[in-house]
Each structure stands twice: as structure tokens, then as C-alpha cells.
Amino acid sequence: MYKKISTFVCGMKKCLVHILLLTLALLLTSCSGSAQNVRQYTLKVEESLPHDLGAYTQGLFFYGGELYESCGQYGESSFRKVDLATGKVLQRINFDRKYFLEGACALKGRIYILTWQENTCFVYDVKTMQLIGSVRYLGEGWGLTTDGKSLIMSDGTSSITFRNPDNFKVEKQIDVTLNGKPLRFINELEYINGEIWANVYDSEAIVIINPSTGAVTGMIDCRNLLHPTLRKPSTDVLNGIAYNEQDGTIWLTGKYWPKIFRITLVEKKK
């Protein structure tokens, strides 16, 4: 998402962010599962590849073995088809400066791209990269993924909505909870092996969510994924989860990060 600490989160909301981050930090340092038996994981980096430093990553996904990425910021928003091995942009669609792109995914030959506060989801043909049309929705757009049937969308709250891909109407909604309490700032999403993985905005944690109940069943500690020597003043937060169904690999990156990482999970011992 946009740097919302100054625009979206202010006053009491800023305090809530700090409380949330403190809670996540405490959970990341604990190996106890607690009320919902939350599994704790760390990461093992299997491979690192170049990533465009100019990409303010919002959505990241594979479709047909090809990597796609939506990038935000007013005046900089774009959607790209990317060569995974080199980070080179193979195709690029630039958007009008009035749009701030957010999460994206592809389903049944169509690409769906959210906007932050413009209440618009753009729909493109995945083969031709040509605009098919757009649909409107209420509220903000943050993350987007699919389970192969529905579009699954976050809006920065603790709610996740399942939407009909034909008309974008809400089919159902779940509330994300961590140990029984709502977990806000759910951001970029990825559907992996029957579960929803989600970045929590402005944290270095990824949560694994039960798509039926909304309960967080796992938490991934992503601290130090990007080595301090690779960080620059422009380096922003962890954001971007992509699952390649063709080979079962999982890739993570962040906003203005120089690398994209292929990772596996290592469960912490209780």
C-alpha cells in the first residue's frame, strides 16, 4: 500500500498500528501457539534473483508459469509482465496519474487489478494485455488473489471478501482473527494450497489464514529476509507473495527491493 502512516493512519489510528506491530513482534519471538494453535515459521532462502528497484510492489502472482506484478504510487502506477530470472520488464502498462494501483491476480484468462481509493478494478485480457473493461466497488482496494473460483480481496481492515469474477459482487466475507481477536491491515494476498497467505501492512510478518473461518493458523517471521547491506533509503516494506503452481515454488519481495526470494518454510519447535 501507499505510505499510509502519514495519509491513512493518523492520530489514534497511528497508535493502533504501533500496537499491532508490537503485538506481531511479540508473537514472532514466541514459539507458543496459544488459543488458535498458531504455527510459527521462519524462512529458508533457496534462491535470490534480481528485482526492479523502481517497483513499488503491490500485487505479485504467477499465471501459466509467467510472473506478473502490479506497482503503485500516484504518477508511477504500472502493471508488468516480468522475466523472473533477470527482473527485466517484458511488457508494461502505465496508468493515469490519478490511479494508485494495488493488488492483482489472474483468473480464467483475465487479469484483475485493484486501485487504492479510486473504487475501480481494471480487467485485462491476459494473452493480449488489452483492456476489457472495469468494475466499481465500495471502499478501498488492497490485496487480491483467487482460489480458482472467486476473487479474494482485502481492504486494509480485518475483513476479506470473496467476489464473483463476472460482476465483482460480494459472495461472502470472513473476518481475520489472531487468537480470537481481529487482525487489521491485511494487505497483499496469495492463495496457496487451500490457504490464504497475507502480508500485514508495515510489518515483517506473513500470516496464513483459514479461508473458511478467517482464523490465523500460521505466522511467518520474515525479519532479515532482505540483508541490511541491500537496504537503501528508498527501501520500503515487505510486500509481495507469489506461488507458482507449475513447480510449487513460493517467492517473496518488497516495495523498491533489489531482490526477489524463493523460500521454503521452517517450522519452529515448540
| pLDDT band, residue 196 (cuts 50/70/90) | very high
Q: Is the pLDDT of residue 4 over 60?
A: no
Mean pLDDT of the chain: 90
Q: Tell me, which fold does domain 4-267 have in CATH?
A: Neuraminidase (2.120.10)
Cα–Cα distance measured from residue 80 to residue 209, given in angstroms and rounded to the nearest whole number: 28
Question: Coil, strand or helix: which one is 225?
Answer: coil
The pLDDT value recorded for residue 36 is 61
CA distance linking residue 72 with residue 78, whole number of Å: 7
pLDDT at 20: 53
| Contact between residue 28 and residue 219 where contact means Cβ atoms under 8 Å apart | yes
pLDDT value for 37: 85
pLDDT average, residue stretch 106-113: 98
pLDDT tens for residues 17-63? 444 554 454 455 443 434 468 999 999 999 999 999 999 999 999 99
Share of the chain above pLDDT 90, in %: 84
Q: Which residues of 44-76 are buried (b: 16+ CB within 10 A; e: fewer)?
A: eeeebeebbeebbbbbbbbbeebbbbbbbbeee
d(CA 150, CA 137): 15
Residue 136 grid coordinates: 466499481
Domain extents for the chain? 4-267
Instruction: Kindly report, residue by residue over 169-190, the tens digit of the pLDDT.
Output: 999 999 999 999 999 999 999 9
User: Which residue's C-alpha cell is 517473496?
Assistant: 252
Residues with Cβ within 8 Å of 6's Cβ and at least 6 positions away in sequence, in order, are: none
Confidence of residue 7 (pLDDT cuts 50, 70, 90): very low
Q: Is 94 helix (H, G, I), strand (E, B) or coil?
A: strand
pLDDT in the model for residue 24: 56
pLDDT at 27: 52
Contact 110, 135 (CB under 8 A): no
In this predicted structure, the answer to whether residue 158 has a pLDDT above a threshold of 60 is yes
What's the whole-model pTM score?
Answer: 0.88
Per-residue pLDDT at 269: 82
Q: What pairing do the DSSP bridges indicate for beta strands 238-244 and 216-221?
A: unpaired
Looking at the DSSP assignment, which residues form a beta bridge with residue 10? none
Return the C-alpha cell found at 5: 502512516
* Count of CB atoms situated within 10 Å of the CB of 138: 7
Q: Distance between CA atoms of 122 and 134, rounded to whole angstroms? A: 4
